[in-house]
Amino acid sequence: MVERRGRVEGKVAIVTGAGSTPGPGIATGRGTAIVMASEGARVLVADIRPDRAEETRSIIEGEGGTAAVFVGDLTQAADCEAMVRTALEAFGTVDILVNNIAAAMPGSVVDTSEVDFDRVLDVSLRTTFLASKHAVPVMAAKRAGAIVNIGSIAAFRGGNYVGYAAAKGAIHAMTIDMAYSHGRQGIRVNAIAPGHLTTPMLLANEGQTPATELRQQMANAAGLLGTEGNGWDVGWAVAFLASDEARWITGVTLPVDSGIMSVTPLMMAPQLREIPPLGS
């Protein structure tokens, strides 16, 4: 009988954007940080908002896990460098980096301003680039590490979020390039493409539609399973990709999307005609 160990037992993980937009539900960053801690990692919770980061830390510690907080703006190189230094000071190393931060603003190329476009790319893409830039050398020095970049199905399916789609497409491309560059250094780099999750960020952004109605639509139309997805679903996928169980997996994008990438709108049509009640 093999003794049950956590998937990432003894590892040190940095999760960026591991706070959460306030509101009901579980964010992907917070969910990932909590899952990683529950699976045995010591977690550096990095966020620009101290209140949000502290809340995640207190949830982790309340469940008996180990966490530290780093507060900084990860669009800035100096803050990314300081984040990695904080992990080294608190926990002695960095084994895992989860790049989770993103900003999304609706709009086409015509009605998205240059300022908004640059901002979305800065928050969603530059943070991933800079955090990786400073974490990779630590991993390379010990010839071991795992990076998981949070992308999106928005990179592959249209939705009138041009800046967000561009940033996420770049994240998936960057994942492949990073996997190439750092494979021989023992670093695996993978991505997750979440589908339409019910997260606090989504519920806050879609303020026009009442939450219950939105959740009902999401459960029904978000994929083949007819159920809602949330931050835990991403957290568990990250825990697998970051763990040694995935030791021979690098350069992949794993959709966590209830199968929405596997279906065409025409084939979904019959299923959309019947709307089951939430939770059924």
Ligand X SMILES: NC(=O)c1ccc[n+]([C@@H]2O[C@H](COP(=O)([O-])OP(=O)(O)OC[C@H]3O[C@@H](n4cnc5c(N)ncnc54)[C@H](O)[C@@H]3O)[C@@H](O)[C@H]2O)c1
The residue among 156 and 185 lying less far from ligand X, judged by its C-beta, is 156
Q: Should residue 189 be labelled a site residue for ligand X when binding is judged by CB under 6 A?
A: no
Which residue's structure tokens are 């991403």? 234
Outline where DSSP puts E strands in 75-162. Answer: 96-99, 145-150
Among 13, 14, 17, 34, binds ligand X (CB under 6 A): 17
* Residue 181 phi, psi dihedral angles, 5° rounding: -65, -30
Among 145, 200, 235, 255, binds ligand X (CB under 6 A): 200
Catalytic, 161? Answer: no
The CA-atom distances, in angstroms, between 120 and each of 103, 164, 165, 193 are 5, 6, 10, 17
Q: Should residue 121 be labelled a site residue for ligand X when binding is judged by CB under 6 A?
A: no
Strand order in the sheet with 96-99: 66-71, 42-47, 12-16, 96-99, 145-150, 187-194, 253-256
Please, what's the largest Cα pairwise distance for the chain? 61
Q: Should residue 69 be labelled a site residue for ligand X when binding is judged by CB under 6 A?
A: no
Show Cβ contacts of residue 236 under 8 Å, excluding neighbours closer than 6 positions.
35
Q: Should residue 100 be labelled a site residue for ligand X when binding is judged by CB under 6 A?
A: yes
Q: Which range, of 37-45, 173-181, 199-207, 237-245, touches ligand X by CB under 6 A?
A: 199-207
Is 189 strand, coil or helix? Answer: strand
d(CA 234, CA 208): 26
**Number of other CB atoms surrounding residue 3 within 10 Å:** 4
Site size for ligand X (CB under 6 A): 29
- The residue from 164, 198, 230, 260 that is catalytic is 164
Q: Should residue 201 be labelled a site residue for ligand X when binding is judged by CB under 6 A?
A: yes
Among 74, 147, 179, 241, binds ligand X (CB under 6 A): 74
Q: Which range, of 45-53, 112-120, 244-252, 263-271, touches ligand X by CB under 6 A?
A: 45-53
Span 147-166, contacts to ligand X by CB under 6 A: 150, 152
Among 33, 123, 135, 219, binds ligand X (CB under 6 A): 123
d(CA 221, CA 196): 9
The residue among 4 and 217 lying less far from ligand X, judged by its C-beta, is 217
Binding-site ranges for ligand X (CB under 6 A) = 17, 19-21, 27-29, 47-49, 52, 73-75, 100-102, 123, 127, 150, 152, 194, 196-197, 199-202, 231
Could you list the active site residues? 164
